[in-house]
Amino acid sequence: MLTELCAELKNYFDRGQPKWFQRFTIENGSIDLPLQEGQYFRIIGSTFNDGVHQYPTTSLVDETFSGAVWAMAVPPAVIALSGEIDAWQAQYADVLKSPYTSESFGGYSYTRASGGSSGGVSNDTPSWQSTFASRLNQWRKIR
């Protein structure tokens, strides 16, 4: 979720952090970088591993690629928010996947397919972006 969250914020928390542009080799699921244990980093230009990861990792797909790796300094509050978003998505997974909007009260029930183009989520169903917007805005960058 942290990859999607940083993309939504247009903020990879990389200001003042080192960036490497070179040929990288990932072996046995890990990449050798001069990072602190637990520090986050972003891989760019990889065929299999683009995104945000936590160092050290053993879950990367082995490959050699020419690209970039950016060290990140993600605030603990953003990491916690990422966990809350994961929990929210898990709680509402069925609603988010459904192409239907339902309403019922008394003896009346109505269901209709959504007409929106939001990837199966009806226009009436909130996204994690809208649900958490007020808490995301403080870290959002405008580019």
A 10 A CB-CB count for 26 gives 19
Residue 63 CA: distances (Å) to CA of 24, 27, 29, 32: 8, 7, 9, 13
Query: 63 pairs with which residues across the strands?
Result: 26
> Structure pTM?
0.79
4: pLDDT strictly greater than 60: yes
Residue 30 and residue 58 in one domain: yes
Q: Where are the beta strands (DSSP E) in 7-77?
A: 19-26, 40-44, 51-54, 63-71
Number of domains in the chain: 2
Residue 110 and residue 126 in one domain: yes
- Tens of pLDDT along 81-139? 999 999 999 998 777 776 666 666 666 765 655 444 444 444 556 889 999 999 999 99
Residue 67 and residue 84 in one domain: no
Does residue 41 belong to any structural domain of this protein?
yes
